[in-house]
Amino acid sequence: MKKLINDPDDVVEEMLDGMVQTYPDRLRRLEDTQVVVRADGTPDGKVGIATGGGSGHEPTHAGYIGDGMLDGAAAGDVFSSPTADEFEALLDACDAGEGVLAVIKNYEGDVMNFETAIDLVEMEGVDVETVVVDDDVAVEDSLYTSGRRGVCGTILVHKAVGAKAAEGASLAEVQRVGQKVVDNVGTMGVALTSCVTPEKGEPTFDLGEDEIELGIGIHGEPGVENADMMAADDITDELTEAVLDDLDVEAGQEVLTIVNGMGGTPQMELFVVNRRLQELLGDRGIETYDAWVGDYMTSLDMEGCSITVCVVDDELTELFDAPADTPALSVQ
Protein backbone atom coordinates (compact mmCIF):
# COMPACT_ATOMS: atom_id res chain seq x y z
CA MET A 1 0.00 0.00 0.00
CA LYS A 2 1.46 3.31 -1.12
CA LYS A 3 1.29 6.46 0.97
CA LEU A 4 2.67 9.97 0.64
CA ILE A 5 4.80 9.62 3.74
CA ASN A 6 8.46 9.29 4.68
CA ASP A 7 9.34 7.18 7.72
CA PRO A 8 6.09 5.93 9.36
CA ASP A 9 7.61 6.86 12.72
CA ASP A 10 7.74 10.52 11.65
CA VAL A 11 4.33 10.86 10.08
CA VAL A 12 2.56 12.62 12.97
CA GLU A 13 5.46 15.00 13.55
CA GLU A 14 5.65 15.87 9.88
CA MET A 15 1.91 16.21 9.56
CA LEU A 16 1.71 18.62 12.48
CA ASP A 17 4.56 20.70 11.08
CA GLY A 18 2.91 20.75 7.68
CA MET A 19 -0.40 21.75 9.23
CA VAL A 20 1.03 24.65 11.21
CA GLN A 21 2.92 25.80 8.10
CA THR A 22 -0.39 25.81 6.24
CA TYR A 23 -2.07 28.04 8.84
CA PRO A 24 0.74 29.99 10.52
CA ASP A 25 -1.57 32.87 11.47
CA ARG A 26 -4.07 30.52 13.07
CA LEU A 27 -2.18 27.60 14.60
CA ARG A 28 0.85 27.25 16.84
CA ARG A 29 2.50 24.07 18.05
CA LEU A 30 3.55 23.94 21.71
CA GLU A 31 7.27 23.26 21.74
CA ASP A 32 8.30 19.62 22.29
CA THR A 33 4.71 18.42 22.21
CA GLN A 34 2.12 17.23 19.70
CA VAL A 35 -0.25 19.91 21.01
CA VAL A 36 -1.58 22.56 18.63
CA VAL A 37 -3.26 25.72 19.95
CA ARG A 38 -4.62 28.98 18.55
CA ALA A 39 -1.73 31.13 17.39
CA ASP A 40 -3.07 34.01 19.47
CA GLY A 41 -4.08 31.88 22.47
CA THR A 42 -7.45 31.53 24.15
CA PRO A 43 -9.09 34.98 24.21
CA ASP A 44 -9.18 36.62 27.65
CA GLY A 45 -12.41 36.06 29.50
CA LYS A 46 -13.39 33.05 27.43
CA VAL A 47 -13.73 29.46 28.60
CA GLY A 48 -11.10 27.38 26.80
CA ILE A 49 -12.19 24.44 24.64
CA ALA A 50 -9.74 21.55 24.44
CA THR A 51 -9.86 18.18 22.79
CA GLY A 52 -7.58 15.56 21.33
CA GLY A 53 -7.10 11.94 20.46
CA GLY A 54 -5.26 9.71 18.05
CA SER A 55 -4.07 10.97 14.69
CA GLY A 56 -5.42 9.64 11.41
CA HIS A 57 -8.81 11.36 11.67
CA GLU A 58 -7.84 14.64 10.01
CA PRO A 59 -9.16 17.34 9.90
CA THR A 60 -10.00 16.13 13.41
CA HIS A 61 -8.69 17.46 15.74
CA ALA A 62 -6.55 20.54 15.09
CA GLY A 63 -8.49 21.47 11.94
CA TYR A 64 -11.26 22.80 14.17
CA ILE A 65 -9.10 25.24 16.11
CA GLY A 66 -10.16 28.86 15.72
CA ASP A 67 -12.83 31.44 16.43
CA GLY A 68 -16.06 29.81 17.51
CA MET A 69 -14.68 26.30 18.00
CA LEU A 70 -11.54 24.89 19.67
CA ASP A 71 -8.67 26.62 21.45
CA GLY A 72 -6.36 23.64 21.29
CA ALA A 73 -5.99 19.95 20.46
CA ALA A 74 -3.54 17.21 21.40
CA ALA A 75 -2.55 14.72 18.72
CA GLY A 76 -1.59 11.19 19.66
CA ASP A 77 0.21 8.83 17.37
CA VAL A 78 -1.92 7.22 14.68
CA PHE A 79 -5.02 5.77 16.36
CA SER A 80 -3.41 6.13 19.83
CA SER A 81 -4.36 8.41 22.67
CA PRO A 82 -2.12 11.37 23.47
CA THR A 83 -0.29 10.88 26.75
CA ALA A 84 -1.45 12.43 30.02
CA ASP A 85 1.51 14.82 29.74
CA GLU A 86 0.32 16.04 26.36
CA PHE A 87 -3.21 16.54 27.67
CA GLU A 88 -1.81 18.42 30.67
CA ALA A 89 0.14 20.78 28.43
CA LEU A 90 -3.00 21.26 26.34
CA LEU A 91 -5.25 22.10 29.29
CA ASP A 92 -2.69 24.51 30.73
CA ALA A 93 -2.34 26.27 27.40
CA CYS A 94 -6.09 26.55 26.80
CA ASP A 95 -6.91 28.11 30.17
CA ALA A 96 -7.30 31.87 30.08
CA GLY A 97 -8.57 32.05 33.65
CA GLU A 98 -12.18 31.00 33.04
CA GLY A 99 -11.54 27.27 33.03
CA VAL A 100 -11.48 24.69 30.24
CA LEU A 101 -14.02 22.31 28.79
CA ALA A 102 -12.43 19.04 27.69
CA VAL A 103 -14.28 17.29 24.87
CA ILE A 104 -13.38 13.60 25.08
CA LYS A 105 -14.30 10.89 22.63
CA ASN A 106 -15.23 7.78 24.58
CA TYR A 107 -12.15 5.60 24.13
CA GLU A 108 -10.50 4.07 27.17
CA GLY A 109 -7.06 5.56 26.49
CA ASP A 110 -8.39 9.06 25.82
CA VAL A 111 -10.64 9.01 28.88
CA MET A 112 -7.92 7.70 31.19
CA ASN A 113 -5.17 10.04 30.01
CA PHE A 114 -7.43 13.08 29.90
CA GLU A 115 -8.63 12.33 33.45
CA THR A 116 -5.08 12.02 34.75
CA ALA A 117 -4.22 15.34 33.15
CA ILE A 118 -7.34 16.98 34.59
CA ASP A 119 -6.35 15.85 38.11
CA LEU A 120 -2.93 17.42 37.60
CA VAL A 121 -4.09 20.81 36.31
CA GLU A 122 -6.88 21.05 38.87
CA MET A 123 -4.18 20.85 41.56
CA GLU A 124 -2.69 23.95 39.93
CA GLY A 125 -6.06 25.69 40.14
CA VAL A 126 -7.38 25.24 36.61
CA ASP A 127 -11.12 24.50 36.50
CA VAL A 128 -11.99 21.72 34.07
CA GLU A 129 -15.31 20.23 33.08
CA THR A 130 -15.73 17.37 30.61
CA VAL A 131 -18.11 16.15 27.97
CA VAL A 132 -17.66 12.55 26.87
CA VAL A 133 -18.98 11.89 23.37
CA ASP A 134 -20.40 8.45 22.59
CA ASP A 135 -22.52 8.94 19.50
CA ASP A 136 -21.84 5.69 17.62
CA VAL A 137 -25.10 3.74 17.72
CA ALA A 138 -23.54 0.60 16.21
CA VAL A 139 -22.06 -1.04 19.28
CA GLU A 140 -22.57 -1.00 23.01
CA ASP A 141 -18.95 -1.90 23.81
CA SER A 142 -16.04 -2.27 21.44
CA LEU A 143 -12.38 -3.19 21.20
CA TYR A 144 -11.39 0.17 22.63
CA THR A 145 -14.36 1.28 24.69
CA SER A 146 -16.65 0.59 27.58
CA GLY A 147 -19.88 1.94 26.26
CA ARG A 148 -20.36 3.47 22.86
CA ARG A 149 -17.63 5.03 20.74
CA GLY A 150 -17.25 8.74 20.08
CA VAL A 151 -17.21 9.48 16.37
CA CYS A 152 -18.37 12.23 14.00
CA GLY A 153 -21.00 13.69 16.33
CA THR A 154 -18.02 15.11 18.21
CA ILE A 155 -17.75 17.86 15.58
CA LEU A 156 -21.19 19.12 16.55
CA VAL A 157 -20.11 19.18 20.19
CA HIS A 158 -17.08 21.28 19.19
CA LYS A 159 -19.33 23.64 17.27
CA ALA A 160 -21.90 24.08 20.03
CA VAL A 161 -19.50 24.48 22.94
CA GLY A 162 -17.22 26.73 20.88
CA ALA A 163 -20.12 29.02 20.03
CA LYS A 164 -21.35 29.07 23.63
CA ALA A 165 -17.89 29.87 24.96
CA ALA A 166 -17.51 32.64 22.35
CA GLU A 167 -20.66 34.25 23.81
CA GLY A 168 -18.82 34.55 27.12
CA ALA A 169 -20.83 31.83 28.86
CA SER A 170 -19.61 30.20 32.07
CA LEU A 171 -17.84 26.84 32.14
CA ALA A 172 -20.98 25.19 33.53
CA GLU A 173 -23.13 26.64 30.75
CA VAL A 174 -20.63 25.57 28.09
CA GLN A 175 -20.57 22.07 29.55
CA ARG A 176 -24.37 21.96 29.59
CA VAL A 177 -24.73 22.63 25.85
CA GLY A 178 -22.01 20.09 25.06
CA GLN A 179 -23.88 17.44 27.01
CA LYS A 180 -27.10 18.49 25.30
CA VAL A 181 -25.57 17.71 21.91
CA VAL A 182 -24.31 14.35 23.18
CA ASP A 183 -27.81 13.51 24.40
CA ASN A 184 -29.31 14.27 21.00
CA VAL A 185 -26.83 12.94 18.46
CA GLY A 186 -26.23 9.53 16.88
CA THR A 187 -23.94 8.22 14.14
CA MET A 188 -23.44 5.02 12.20
CA GLY A 189 -20.75 4.25 9.62
CA VAL A 190 -19.96 1.86 6.81
CA ALA A 191 -16.65 0.80 5.29
CA LEU A 192 -16.19 -0.24 1.68
CA THR A 193 -12.49 -0.79 2.33
CA SER A 194 -10.33 -1.11 5.41
CA CYS A 195 -7.97 1.68 6.33
CA VAL A 196 -4.22 1.07 6.16
CA THR A 197 -2.07 2.45 8.95
CA PRO A 198 1.35 3.87 8.04
CA GLU A 199 2.98 1.52 10.51
CA LYS A 200 1.38 -1.71 9.35
CA GLY A 201 1.16 -0.83 5.65
CA GLU A 202 -1.64 -3.27 4.95
CA PRO A 203 -5.40 -3.39 5.56
CA THR A 204 -6.43 -3.53 9.22
CA PHE A 205 -9.30 -5.91 8.47
CA ASP A 206 -10.24 -8.11 5.53
CA LEU A 207 -13.10 -7.14 3.31
CA GLY A 208 -13.93 -9.03 0.13
CA GLU A 209 -14.43 -7.39 -3.24
CA ASP A 210 -18.23 -7.65 -2.82
CA GLU A 211 -18.45 -7.04 0.91
CA ILE A 212 -18.99 -4.02 3.10
CA GLU A 213 -18.72 -3.65 6.86
CA LEU A 214 -21.63 -1.93 8.60
CA GLY A 215 -21.18 -0.22 11.95
CA ILE A 216 -17.44 0.36 11.66
CA GLY A 217 -15.58 2.66 14.00
CA ILE A 218 -12.90 5.14 13.03
CA HIS A 219 -9.88 2.93 13.81
CA GLY A 220 -10.54 -0.02 11.56
CA GLU A 221 -12.39 -1.74 14.40
CA PRO A 222 -14.71 -4.46 13.19
CA GLY A 223 -18.28 -3.36 12.59
CA VAL A 224 -21.44 -5.12 13.61
CA GLU A 225 -22.27 -6.77 10.32
CA ASN A 226 -20.37 -7.95 7.30
CA ALA A 227 -22.83 -7.54 4.46
CA ASP A 228 -22.94 -7.96 0.70
CA MET A 229 -22.26 -4.84 -1.29
CA MET A 230 -25.44 -2.82 -1.83
CA ALA A 231 -26.58 0.21 -3.80
CA ALA A 232 -25.87 3.57 -2.14
CA ASP A 233 -29.56 4.08 -1.39
CA ASP A 234 -29.80 0.78 0.47
CA ILE A 235 -26.66 1.50 2.47
CA THR A 236 -28.01 4.94 3.32
CA ASP A 237 -31.28 3.42 4.48
CA GLU A 238 -29.49 0.93 6.76
CA LEU A 239 -27.35 3.60 8.40
CA THR A 240 -30.07 6.21 8.71
CA GLU A 241 -32.67 3.87 10.14
CA ALA A 242 -30.24 2.61 12.77
CA VAL A 243 -29.56 6.17 13.89
CA LEU A 244 -33.17 7.35 13.79
CA ASP A 245 -34.33 4.31 15.75
CA ASP A 246 -31.65 4.82 18.38
CA LEU A 247 -32.53 8.50 18.78
CA ASP A 248 -36.25 7.81 18.57
CA VAL A 249 -36.73 10.68 16.14
CA GLU A 250 -40.36 11.36 15.31
CA ALA A 251 -42.17 13.12 12.49
CA GLY A 252 -42.21 16.87 13.00
CA GLN A 253 -38.82 17.02 14.70
CA GLU A 254 -35.97 19.04 13.24
CA VAL A 255 -32.49 17.62 12.68
CA LEU A 256 -29.02 18.53 11.50
CA THR A 257 -27.43 15.79 9.41
CA ILE A 258 -23.85 14.99 8.47
CA VAL A 259 -22.69 12.70 5.68
CA ASN A 260 -19.06 12.26 6.64
CA GLY A 261 -16.43 10.81 4.34
CA MET A 262 -13.98 8.36 5.89
CA GLY A 263 -10.93 9.75 4.08
CA GLY A 264 -10.80 7.88 0.79
CA THR A 265 -14.33 8.58 -0.41
CA PRO A 266 -14.92 10.94 -3.36
CA GLN A 267 -17.21 13.86 -2.59
CA MET A 268 -19.41 12.77 -5.50
CA GLU A 269 -20.43 9.67 -3.54
CA LEU A 270 -21.13 11.62 -0.36
CA PHE A 271 -23.59 13.84 -2.22
CA VAL A 272 -25.30 10.73 -3.66
CA VAL A 273 -25.73 9.47 -0.09
CA ASN A 274 -27.02 12.84 1.11
CA ARG A 275 -29.65 12.85 -1.63
CA ARG A 276 -31.11 9.59 -0.34
CA LEU A 277 -30.74 10.64 3.30
CA GLN A 278 -32.81 13.77 2.72
CA GLU A 279 -35.41 11.80 0.77
CA LEU A 280 -35.72 9.32 3.61
CA LEU A 281 -36.08 12.05 6.24
CA GLY A 282 -38.72 13.74 4.09
CA ASP A 283 -40.64 10.46 3.82
CA ARG A 284 -40.63 10.18 7.59
CA GLY A 285 -41.81 13.77 8.09
CA ILE A 286 -38.54 14.78 9.72
CA GLU A 287 -37.36 18.27 8.82
CA THR A 288 -33.73 18.95 7.96
CA TYR A 289 -32.63 22.24 9.42
CA ASP A 290 -29.12 21.89 7.95
CA ALA A 291 -27.17 19.22 6.05
CA TRP A 292 -23.39 18.93 6.16
CA VAL A 293 -21.41 16.88 3.65
CA GLY A 294 -17.65 16.40 3.72
CA ASP A 295 -14.66 14.83 5.44
CA TYR A 296 -15.11 15.82 9.09
CA MET A 297 -13.73 12.83 10.98
CA THR A 298 -11.83 10.34 8.89
CA SER A 299 -10.07 7.03 9.29
CA LEU A 300 -6.94 7.49 7.18
CA ASP A 301 -7.65 6.23 3.65
CA MET A 302 -10.78 4.23 4.44
CA GLU A 303 -13.51 4.32 1.80
CA GLY A 304 -17.00 4.64 3.19
CA CYS A 305 -19.01 7.13 5.14
CA SER A 306 -20.91 7.74 8.32
CA ILE A 307 -24.28 9.35 8.81
CA THR A 308 -24.86 11.58 11.83
CA VAL A 309 -28.23 12.91 12.93
CA CYS A 310 -28.65 15.48 15.68
CA VAL A 311 -32.10 16.47 16.92
CA VAL A 312 -32.09 20.23 17.35
CA ASP A 313 -34.08 22.93 19.10
CA ASP A 314 -33.77 26.72 18.90
CA GLU A 315 -30.84 26.80 21.30
CA LEU A 316 -28.82 24.28 19.29
CA THR A 317 -29.61 25.78 15.87
CA GLU A 318 -28.46 29.15 17.15
CA LEU A 319 -25.16 27.64 18.30
CA PHE A 320 -24.67 25.69 15.05
CA ASP A 321 -25.40 28.84 13.01
CA ALA A 322 -23.03 31.05 15.02
CA PRO A 323 -19.90 32.28 13.20
CA ALA A 324 -16.85 30.02 13.13
CA ASP A 325 -13.53 30.47 11.40
CA THR A 326 -11.32 27.39 11.49
CA PRO A 327 -9.25 25.61 8.84
CA ALA A 328 -11.81 22.84 8.42
CA LEU A 329 -15.11 24.56 9.18
CA SER A 330 -16.23 28.06 8.44
CA VAL A 331 -19.61 29.62 9.18
CA GLN A 332 -20.00 33.21 8.03
Catalytic residues: 57, 219
3-class SS string, the chain: CCCCCCCHHHHHHHHHHHHHHHCCCCEEECCCCCEEEECCCCCCCCCEEEEEEEECCCCCCHHHECECCECEEEEEEECCCCCHHHHHHHHHHHCCCCCEEEEEECCHHHHHHHHHHHHHHHHCCCCEEEEEECCECCCCCECCECCCCCCCHHHHHHHHHHHHHHCCCCHHHHHHHHHHHHHHEEEEEEECCCCECCCCCCECCCCCCCEEEECCCCCCCCCCEEEECCCHHHHHHHHHHHHHHHHCCCCCCEEEEEEEECECCCHHHHHHHHHHHHHHHHHCCCEEEEEEEECCCCCCCECEEEEEEEECCHHHHHHHHCCEECCCCEEC
Binding residue (CB under 8 A) for a copy of itself from 33, 42, 55, 145: 55
Asked whether position 59 contacts a copy of itself by CB under 8 A, the answer is yes
Binding residue (CB under 8 A) for a copy of itself from 301, 306, 309, 312: 301
Asked whether position 231 contacts a copy of itself by CB under 8 A, the answer is yes
CB of 230 to a copy of itself, least distance (A): 10
Size of residue set near a copy of itself by CB under 8 A: 57
Binding residue (CB under 8 A) for a copy of itself from 193, 205, 222, 224: 193
Q: Which stretch binds a copy of itself (CB under 8 A): 9-17, 37-45, 126-134, 215-223?
A: 9-17
Measured from the CB atom, the residue of 145 and 194 that comes closer to a copy of itself is 194
Binding residue (CB under 8 A) for a copy of itself from 43, 293, 317, 318: 293
Asked whether position 188 contacts a copy of itself by CB under 8 A, the answer is no
> Which residues bind to a copy of itself, rule: CB under 8 A?
2-6, 11, 14-19, 21-22, 55-56, 58-59, 63, 192-193, 209-210, 212, 229, 231-233, 235, 263-276, 278, 291-293, 295, 298, 300-301, 303-305, 325, 330, 332
